[in-house]
C-alpha cells in the first residue's frame, strides 16, 4: 500500500468504527477457538499493529509485516515481536509452528493467494486454526480497492474452494458487515457512476456520534458471527483448520 495510508491507519485504527468493530468480531471468533494462554499466535500482515494488543489476551503473539515503516509503528505497541516478512516465500520462520494464524484483510493484496495459504498451512500446528477476512464481491470494487492495491474481492464459493485446495478443513465461513451492506454498496456503486478518482480512499474519521453508531451496528454482528452464516456482506470471514493428524 501507499506508505501514507499506513500513517493514516495508525492514527485511525484505535478509534475508527470499522477497525474497532472488526476487533470485537475477531475477539468473539478467537474465544470460540478456546486457545490456551501459552498458544502461539501469528498476525500475518499486521500492518501498524492495531490488533496486537487484543491478541496478547489470547496467547503469545508474533507479528509479520513487509513494510518497514508500518512494522516500526507496530513495534511501538510493545505487544510482541514484529518481524519482517511476506507471503508466500519470504517468511522469517524455520521450523516454528503456530496454534492460530490471523490473516485479516491481507490475502487480497497478494498476487498468489493459493501459494500463500499453502505456506501458512505449513506453519500451522496440527489442529491449529487460520482466521481469515477478505473483501467480498467484485461488483463492490471501488477506488478503495485500487488505492489499497487489491488484486481481487471474493465470493464465499471462491474462498471456500481456495481454502480446500490449500489443504484446510473449513470450520466456518460467512459473509459479514451485512447490516451496513446496503449503505456501502450504494456508496461504492455511486462512486463508479460519478467516476470517483482512483486516488480516493475511505480512511476518514466520521463525526463522533456517527462513528459510535456505525461501530455499534457493525460490531453487533459478533453476537451471531460464529453461529450462523450470513447470506451477504461487504466482507467474508473464514475459520479454517489444519487436520490434527
Domains defined for the chain, CATH in brackets: 3-241 (3.40.50.150)
CA distance readout (Å), 23 to 17, 48, 55, 125, 183: 10, 14, 10, 24, 21
Predicted TM-score (pTM) of this structure: 0.92
- Residue range 11-34: mean pLDDT, rounded: 95
- Residue range 168-190: mean pLDDT, rounded: 93
Comparison of pLDDT for 144 and 50, the residue scoring more: 50
Question: Which residues lie closer than 8 Å to 125 by C-beta, 6 or more apart?
Answer: 40, 97, 98, 99, 242
Task: Tell me what the pLDDT averaged over the chain comes to.
Answer: 92
CA distance readout (Å), 241 to 51, 94, 167: 21, 21, 9
Report pLDDT for 96: 83
Percent of the chain with pLDDT over 70: 93
Question: Residue 197 pLDDT > 70, yes or no?
Answer: no
CA dist., res. 12 & res. 6, Å (int): 10
CA dist., res. 5 & res. 16, Å (int): 14
CA dist., res. 179 & res. 216, Å (int): 11
Question: Residue 200 pLDDT > 80, yes or no?
Answer: no
Report pLDDT for 198: 47
Of 93-107, 193-207, 210-224, minimum mean pLDDT range: 193-207
Question: Residue 243 pLDDT > 90, yes or no?
Answer: yes
Instruction: Quickly state the pLDDT bin for 196 (edges 50, 70, 90).
Output: low
Instruction: Please check whether residue 6 is in contact with residue 73, taking contact to mean a CB–CB distance below 8 angstroms.
Output: yes
Amino acid at each position: 500500500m501507499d506508505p501514507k495510508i499506513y500513517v493514516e491507519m495508525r492514527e485511525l485504527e484505535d478509534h475508527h468504527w470499522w477497525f474497532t468493530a472488526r476487533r470485537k468480531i475477531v475477539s468473539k471468533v478467537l474465544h470460540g477457538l478456546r486457545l490456551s494462554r501459552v498458544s502461539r499466535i501469528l498476525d500475518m500482515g499486521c500492518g501498524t499493529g492495531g490488533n496486537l494488543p487484543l491478541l496478547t489476551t489470547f496467547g503469545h503473539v508474533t507479528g509479520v509485516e513487509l513494510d518497514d515503516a508500518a512494522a516500526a509503528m507496530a513495534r511501538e505497541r510493545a505487544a510482541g515481536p514484529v518481524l519482517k516478512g511476506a507471503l508466500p516465500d519470504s517468511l522469517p520462520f524455520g521450523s516454528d509452528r503456530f496454534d492460530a494464524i490471523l490473516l485479516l484483510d491481507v490475502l487480497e493484496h497478494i498476487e498468489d493467494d493459493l501459494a500463500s495459504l499453502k505456506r501458512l498451512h505449513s506453519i500451522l500446528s496440527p489442529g491449529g486454526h487460520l482466521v481469515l477476512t477478505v473483501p467480498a464481491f467484485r461488483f463492490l470494487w471501488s477506488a478503495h480497492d485500487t488505492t489499497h492495491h487489491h488484486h481481487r474481492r471474493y465470493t464465499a464459493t471462491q474462498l471456500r474452494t481456495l481454502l480446500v485446495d490449500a489443504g484446510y478443513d473449513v470450520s466456518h465461513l460467512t459473509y459479514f458487515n451485512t447490516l451496513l451492506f446496503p449503505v456501502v454498496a450504494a456508496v461504492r456503486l455511486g462512486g463508479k457512476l460519478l467516476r470517483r478518482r482512483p486516488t480516493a480512499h475511505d480512511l476518514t474519521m466520521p463525526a463522533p456520534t456517527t462513528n459510535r453508531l456505525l461501530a455499534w451496528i457493525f460490531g453487533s454482528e459478533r453476537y451471531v458471527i460464529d453461529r450462523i452464516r450470513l447470506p451477504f456482506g461487504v466482507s467474508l470471514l473464514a475459520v479454517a483448520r489444519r487436520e490434527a493428524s
